[in-house]
Amino acid sequence: MRQFTVLVCVAFVVGVAEAGFLDWFRSNKNKGHDVCRVQFEVLDPHGLRLWTPRKPDMKGFGVELVINPVHGRKQQLCNVCRNTTEVTDGKFFLQDENVIVKSGDILEYVIVTDNGKTVQRHKPRKLIVEDYLIKPKGRCVCPPADVSTVSPSRQLQGDPTAEIALLERILERVSKKCAEGTMSNFLFLQTDRADGAPADDLKQVVRAYFEKKDALKPLLATILTAEDASDGIVFRVQSIIDKLKILELAQQDGDILDFDKLTAIDDMDIRASFDEAS
């Protein structure tokens, strides 16, 4: 009789698991921790503003942000550590009036979410401060409606003016890079992929990301190699022009960064390993 009871219990657990109840229970714990894209504005002469749309079940939103983190240092000074439970126009807003951020700075940040029951620290992400992020203090500068509602790929399709504007921005980036004296064909993809994947799989992860983005699909063939890095993947493309074009087209999502700018303040430069492998 006892053996029969055990078998019934096992059968019940297996049946419940197959029904998806355990999966529902696990996911239910994490409700309220999904985060939309975080928007940044650097205020001139000082200050930093960021916001994100509030998703269902999210009760609180916070950030732990470091300006120009030093690789290998265990303890980093948190330059902006703030949180809020206040929602304005469907968004969480955070602002620091005193912090000084300049063009070219690297912001490494961890988003913290609260669903009323648990607090979750998300995976670190990086943002390179470009000139377009810097706004006059006291004024919120939003992108024009025709730019925010149209994807980069659709802007380019059959529009010679858009293609010329893209080339002009690329040439401007080239001139700045030449003035800085450093330029490579390496990029950095921020991703939540599993760590320790083989190099061939890493290249496929990058290709899969490009395939999901209409603007980047035509540049799939430019991806040459990929290698593991902290919080993402470093990958190499065929030419400098390909790299700059990718940076322009991927600017809206913020997932792809210029690896040269990351290594400017980073002790770890893994580009040598690519040269050895090629």
Same domain? For 257 and 202 the reply is yes
Same domain? For 131 and 187 the reply is no
Number of domains in the chain: 2
Backbone angles phi, psi at 109, to 5 degrees: -140, 150
pLDDT at 9: 43
Report yes or no: 275 and 203 within 8 Å, Cβ to Cβ.
no
Same domain? For 131 and 192 the reply is no
> How far apart, in whole angstroms, are the C-alpha atoms of residue 26 and residue 5?
27
Angle, helices 160-180 vs 240-249, to 10°: value is: 120
Domain-embedded: residue 249? yes
Domain-embedded: residue 98? yes
Domain that holds residue 117: 39-136
Angle, helices 21-29 vs 2-18, to 10°: value is: 60
pLDDT at 62: 96
In order along its 278 residues, the chain shows pLDDT tens digits of: 444 444 434 443 344 344 443 343 344 556 778 888 899 999 999 999 999 999 888 999 999 999 998 877 777 889 999 999 999 999 999 999 999 999 989 999 999 999 999 999 998 999 999 888 898 766 555 544 444 444 555 555 556 676 667 676 667 666 665 555 567 899 999 987 655 566 668 999 999 999 999 999 999 999 999 998 877 899 999 988 899 889 989 988 889 999 988 876 544 444 344 444 44
pLDDT at 75: 79
Q: Write the CATH number for 248.
A: 3.30.70
- pTM (predicted TM-score): 0.67
pLDDT at 228: 87
Backbone angles phi, psi at 138, to 5 degrees: 90, 5
> How far apart, in whole angstroms, are the C-alpha atoms of residue 56 and residue 227?
36
User: Which one, of 46, 66, 67, lies nearest residue 135 by Cα?
Assistant: 46
Domain-embedded: residue 10? no
Domain-embedded: residue 27? no
Report yes or no: 186 and 235 within 8 Å, Cβ to Cβ.
yes
Last residue of some domain: 76, 106, 136? 136
User: Which one, of 141, 71, 142, 61, lies nearest residue 106 by Cα?
Assistant: 71
Kindly write down the DSSP assignment for every residue of 48-109, as one continuous string: EEEEEEPPTT--EEEEEEEESPPTT-SS---SEEEEE---BTTEEEEEESS----TT-EEEE
Domain-embedded: residue 274? no
> How far apart, in whole angstroms, are the C-alpha atoms of residue 61 and residue 32?
10
Domain-embedded: residue 67? yes
Domain-embedded: residue 170? no
Between strands 134-136 and 39-44, the pairing is parallel
Last residue of some domain: 136, 166, 196? 136
Question: Is the alpha carbon torsion for 239, 167, 126, 263 positive or negative?
Answer: positive
Q: Which residue has the tokens 């993809």?
A: 189
Q: Write the CATH number for 116.
A: 2.60.40.2140
Domain-embedded: residue 210? yes
